[in-house]
Chains A and B, each alone.
Chain A
Amino acid sequence: MAPFALIDFLGKPIAYSIYLLIGFAFGAVLEMAGFADSRRLAAQFYFRNMTVLKVMFGAIVTAMTLLFLASGLGMLDMSRVWVNPTYLVPGIVGGLLMGIGFILGGFCPGTSIVALANLKIDGLFFFLGVSAGVVLFGETVGLYEGFYHSTPMGRFTLPEWLGIPAGWVVLLIVLMALFMFWGAEKLEGIYGERGKPTRASGRRFPPRLAGAAALVVLALVVLGIGQPTSAERWERIASGKQPLLDERRVQIHPAELVDLARNDLVRLLLLDLRDERDFNIFHILDSRRVTLDEVRDGLPALGLLSAPANTVTVLISNGEERATAAWKLLAASGVLNLYILEGGINNWLDVYGHPGHDASCPEGEASGGTAAAEAFAHRFEHALGSAQPSADPDALAKRAIEFTPKVELQIRKKLGGGCG
């Protein structure tokens, strides 16, 4: 399924040729739209010629609608499409600077390249300015590294922010863009250059209206078919991933978790899926409680898709049932290095014990790592959370217990990179 890891499939020469071709089309369209002319670009800010807004929002809504349509039809895996990570404040400050640079210089970096290719001398000076700015940034960012990395929100999209399905956001943005186009036409009518027959002929209107209608219909289709749910995504990959569960290649022994927690090369993320009551009685140190619903809906909030490549996630429940359900959801969303604690917390406490661990703790059904039961099988006098030795991997490491290592760190094929 798209997108494709081009470099792996085709090798660098062909993959880079495809990027060259994409860039070629990009530059050609910019030139055809008239973006090699600084006056045309700057006119946007005096309401005389709204081409910049029309082209930009026209491109955004077209690409957006097609992307979410392809995703809804199951042709495109959105979790593998690069989404620029949000660093809110530096992004806004950088944006304001760019706006200032735009009105002073008359180009943006992309259009100045096209202007340069057309031998516009002001384009050349702008390009040299951009180059100086880029070098200056590289030399000075070290002075305020903290600000540059401030307000990080990772991969954060409008549907997550607004808490509504992507289809609604697509439709709203399409309607907003059409309203802006309507406004742009009005503004050009008032401030536009004289003699520019933008609305002179009546017959030019129908194709424009047809385009707008087509866009709205497409957006409604996107809304209608919706985006694939985690369960549907699991269906698509089940044939490949189910054997990992059946052959027990992702269920790791408690001692392997202890080992991982002490491995400095691995960033361990422990997700505990049990009820709050059980979690409060006992949980492994540094584990984080999430519900199955949160895993289903709020995957991005867990930060798993933008986590560092050496992140290993271990799912924990009392037995294995709930952890396995979460494993399927996360695997379907493209999370790598995903494991289940073998036999869950029940087995963990069988192996490592706890204060008062004795015959009153029914062992049989919880041991052996095959427990399906989701009931907490151990008895505690106090709810100690992680404040006890058998919750702390560092304390437990002294007890060398043999295990078969199963974790193999997989590095995600890096597709994205933004403005690299």
Chain B
Amino acid sequence: MSARAKPRGYLNPYVSGGFLGVVLFLAFFATGNGLGASGGIARILVSVEDRVVPEHVDRTPHLLAMAGGDTDPLDNWIVFVTIGALLGGFASGLLHGRIRPETQKGPRISIGTRWFFAFLGGLVMGYGARLARGCTSGQALSGGAVLSVGSWAFMFAVFGGGYALAWFVRRLWI
């Protein structure tokens, strides 16, 4: 019975939310910063770019701010939060026996289709996250908790965009 009551052994969503809220609060309390993910990814990528094409980075204003000249794009708090999230996700998965190579998809599409749309969705989302100056973690979660007007508008836009398109792409998921 208990296996059915808690499918896959995930934590109760309200308890998860409470935990996540406490983590977010402690982050703000100790450091003045919230959480984030896309910023860390961006900086890691820029550091790769800076190694391959340093002149190009120095000529592109948006990249220049992160990695111009001798500035090390990895010398930033958010990079460590991102790496920490990777490690924490791995540790929890290991502990709960959920680490296995697999593709999780809706029942009506092929694995190849899922991969394609995962990449496409990631592309759109990565672009949107930079345009909005933060992702679900850095804008919605962190900015929402400190009551930033822009973060709340952003949050409703994310749900709005998702719900607006959901019906048309339902074949992907249900």
Contacts and interface: CB of A to CB of B under 8 A. Distances in A.
Given A99-B159, A126-B122, A139 B149 contact: no
A29 B90 CA distance: 11
A104 B93 contact: no
Contacts of B106: 39, 42
Interface residues of A, number: 141
Interface string B56-91: 000011110010000000011111111111111111
Interface stretch (A84-92, A308-316, A376-384): A84-92
A46 B167 CA distance: 8
A124 to B, nearest CB: 8
B150 to A, nearest CB: 3
A22 interface: yes
Given A91-B153, A122-B114, A66 B4 contact: no
Given A16-B80, A81-B32, A130-B129, A103 B165 contact: yes
A115 B100 CA distance: 10
A100 B166 CA distance: 8
Nearest to B36: A419
Interface in A118-161: 118-123, 125-139, 141-142, 145, 148, 153, 155-161
Contact of B105 (A16, A33, A38): A38
Given A97-B128, A109-B129, A23 B81 contact: yes
Contact-residue bracket for chain B: 35 or more
Contacts of B16: 29, 32-33, 51, 54-55, 58
Interface in A1-58: 2-4, 6, 12, 15-34, 36-40, 42-46, 48, 50-51, 54-58
A95 interface: yes
A206 interface: no
A253 to B, nearest CB: 36
A181 B148 CA distance: 22
B121 A104 contact: yes
A92 B157 contact: yes
Contacts of A4: 30-32
B158 A67 contact: no
Contacts of A58: 13-14, 16-18, 20-21
B130 A31 contact: no
A157 B146 contact: yes
Contacts of B121: 100-107, 126, 129
A93 B45 contact: no
Contacts of A325: none
Contacts, number: 592
A3 B31 contact: yes
Contact of B129 (A21, A98, A156, A197): A98
A103 B32 contact: no
Nearest to A75: B29
Contacts of A67: 25, 28-29, 145-146
A23 B127 contact: no
Interface in B8-39: 8, 10-11, 13-14, 16-39
A195 B162 CA distance: 26
Contacts of B37: 108-110, 113, 419
B16, B105, B173: most-surrounded residue (chain A CB, <10 A) = B16
B27, B43, B61, B131: most-surrounded residue (chain A CB, <10 A) = B131
A24 B85 contact: yes
A19 B129 contact: no
Nearest to A52: B13
A117 interface: yes
B80 A63 contact: no
A207 B48 CA distance: 49
A42 B85 contact: no
A102 B17 CA distance: 20
A201 B33 CA distance: 40
A96 interface: yes
B29 A118 contact: no
Nearest to A196: B7
Contacts of A109: 37-38, 41, 125-126, 129, 135-137
29 contacts: A18-B31, A19-B77, A24-B91, A29-B23, A31-B89, A32-B10, A32-B11, A34-B11, A39-B104, A50-B13, A56-B136, A58-B14, A62-B20, A84-B143, A85-B150, A88-B150, A91-B154, A95-B160, A96-B158, A96-B160, A98-B136, A99-B164, A100-B161, A101-B126, A104-B124, A105-B121, A127-B122, A159-B147, A418-B134
Given A125-B118, A418-B138, A418-B143, 16 more contacts: A3-B28, A23-B88, A30-B85, A48-B174, A67-B29, A82-B32, A110-B85, A114-B85, A114-B89, A128-B119, A130-B129, A133-B127, A155-B148, A157-B146, A160-B149, A420-B78
